[in-house]
Amino acid sequence: MGSYFLSHLHALEGGVVGQIVVFLGVLSVVVFVHELGHFLIARWCGVRILVFSLGFGPELAGFNDRRGTRWKIAAIPLGGYVKFFGDENVASASDGSALATMDEKEKSQSFIGQSLPKRAAIVVAGPMANFLLAIAIFAGTFMLYGKPTQSSQTMSARVDAVVPDSPAAVAGFQPGDLVVSIAGQAIGNFADMQRIVSESAGVTLAVTVERNGGSIVLQATPKAEKDMLGTPIGRLGIQGTIAPGSAQLEPVSPPQAVWLGLQETWAVIDTTMSYIGGVVTGHRSPDQLSGPIGIARVVGRASTISSAIVIHIMAVISVSIGLLNLFPIPLLDGGHLLFYSIEALRGRPLSERAQEVGFRIGLAIVLMLMIFATFNDIVHLATS
């Protein structure tokens, strides 16, 4: 049913409209789950919720639930927010003047009137919901398809062939080499090697290989190439051969699927943090940072290939949004947690003026990142 739906969307307007619809659908699910995390924990804490909005700007459609919360879909579908009683704006900045006029009952229903642990729990619930969505998607995929298994010989990172004039050829790889570590990370199979190499375009890697009973270290720099979704990844030019019938899928139990889902989610977090660390230290290029345009292109291309790939990308996006929101930047969830940490240390919250300045700085940082990511998207679009 999913493939049928995607194929028909792709037929609209030469595929462009369909791909945009798929992208907005994926983003809306991820954003909805994020805001639902905030919403559910806030309700559990007794906070009155004024608005649950999917998108920003003018309201397109909505309704009020029995507790007075306005559920709405807004015109700009690139995010969302939950506005609590006592908030001055959608970033959950407190309205000091309104708080001063509240009675005790109203304060108990406001977000700012909650204890520090409850406020922290409400804030962190959004990113945690994103991680749980990713785990559920990955676990469901493993339960549906199983996990791949190969013979020990096939799984080894053995070099069967080297592409002529490739980075591997320049580095001196030879057929028969067994890759045992890359940049100090142990390599257990060919997939381990592919993962590290794909994340390291333009980065010189120290690759330890076993050859003729000895061990040597080769210096190799993966070349940036685009995969089938148009995403730049690193490639060395090493080929491995999978024996016929060796690649199989074995069923997994629900507990195993959840554990594998946790591992996949952590792998996305680890990869993202490694990349960001590389950018900060100057070892990685920031040109792989993507904004809405780049993500929309990847999701759109995936929609023309397989609904399963789209669902997988949804999980990756969910992890990324959850992780991004935990960064200690005012305006994001992590910025709120930063303020709460300072409040816990000082014994009292920062002044409204200090918080306002922090939010302005956070807004500037977020806008600069969005502009830079959009610039990257435009450059990639122009050169593709």
Residue 145 has pLDDT above 50, yes or no: yes
For residue 15, how many other CB atoms are within 10 A of its CB? 16
Q: Domain of 171: which CATH number? A: 2.30.42.10
In a domain, 310, yes or no: yes
| Residue 204 sits in the same domain as residue 155 | yes
Is residue 245 domain-shared with residue 259, that is, in the same domain? no
Handedness of CA 240, 246, 252, 255 (dihedral sign): negative
Q: Is 343 annotated in the active site? A: no
Residues 378 and 301 in one domain: yes
- Above 80 in pLDDT, residue 230? no
Q: What angle in degrees, to the nearest 10, is found between the helix axes of 352-383 and 333-346? A: 150
Token digits for 21?
A: 């619809």
Residues 6+ apart with CB under 8 A from 188: 155, 157
Residue 351 lies in a domain: yes
28 part of a folded domain: no
Indicate if 246 and 256 belong to the same structural domain. no
208 and 350 in a common domain: no
Q: Is residue 103 part of a domain?
A: no
Active-site residue, from 13, 35, 225, 356? 35
Q: Is 19 among the domain residues?
A: no
Q: Are residues 273 and 371 in the same domain?
A: yes
Residue 354 lies in a domain: yes
Tens of pLDDT, residues 252-275 = 899 999 999 999 999 889 888 887
DSSP 181-195: EETTEE--SHHHHHH
pLDDT of res. 4 = 40
Residues 6 or more apart whose Cβ sits within 8 Å of residue 269: 319, 323
In contact, 45 and 118? CB cutoff 8 Å: yes
pLDDT at residue 13, as a whole number = 38
Q: Which of 233, 250, 267 is the last residue of a domain?
A: 250
Note whether 203 and 223 are same-domain residues.
Answer: yes
| Domain match, 279 and 372 both | yes
Flag whether 285 is in a domain: yes
Average predicted confidence (pLDDT) for the chain: 83
Amino acid in the structure at residue 384:
S
Which residue type does 258 have?
A: V
Residue whose C-alpha is closest to residue 2's, from 213, 305, 361: 305
d(CA 376, CA 280): 17
**List of residues 6+ apart from 243 with CB closer than 8 A:** 151, 153, 154
Domain shared by 141 and 279, yes or no? yes
Neighbours of 50 (CB within 10 A): 15
Which residue type sits at 172?
G
Q: Report the domain count for the chain.
A: 2
Q: What is the pLDDT of residues 192-221, one digit of tens each?
A: 788 888 878 888 889 999 998 889 999 988
Which pTM does this prediction carry? 0.78
Same domain for 218 and 131? no
What confidence category does residue 227 fall into, taking pLDDT thresholds of 50, 70 and 90?
low
Residue 329 has pLDDT above 80, yes or no: yes
Boundaries of domain holding 272: 1-14+114-146+251-384
Q: Do 281 and 334 lie in a common domain?
A: yes
Q: Tell which wins on pLDDT, 349 or 150.
A: 349
CA dihedral 322, 325, 328, 334 (to 10 degrees): -90
Is residue 47, in this structure, part of any structural domain at all?
no
Does the pLDDT of residue 231 top 80, yes or no? Answer: no
Could you tell me if 208 and 196 are in contact, meaning their C-beta atoms sit under 8 angstroms apart? Answer: no
Q: Using one digit for the tens of pLDDT, what is the confidence trace for 271-304?
A: 888 878 877 877 777 777 788 888 888 887 777 7
Of 198, 228, 250, the residue at which a domain comes to its end is: 250
pLDDT at 76 over 50: yes
Report which of 262, 290, 258 is spatially closest to residue 369, judged by C-alpha positions. Answer: 290
Answer with the one of 228, 250, 272 that is the final residue of a domain: 250
Query: Do both 135 and 262 map to the same domain?
Result: yes
Question: Where are any strands of DSSP class E within the chain?
Answer: 49-64, 70-84, 147-149, 161-162, 178-182, 185-186, 205-211, 214-220, 223-226, 232-235, 238-239, 248-250
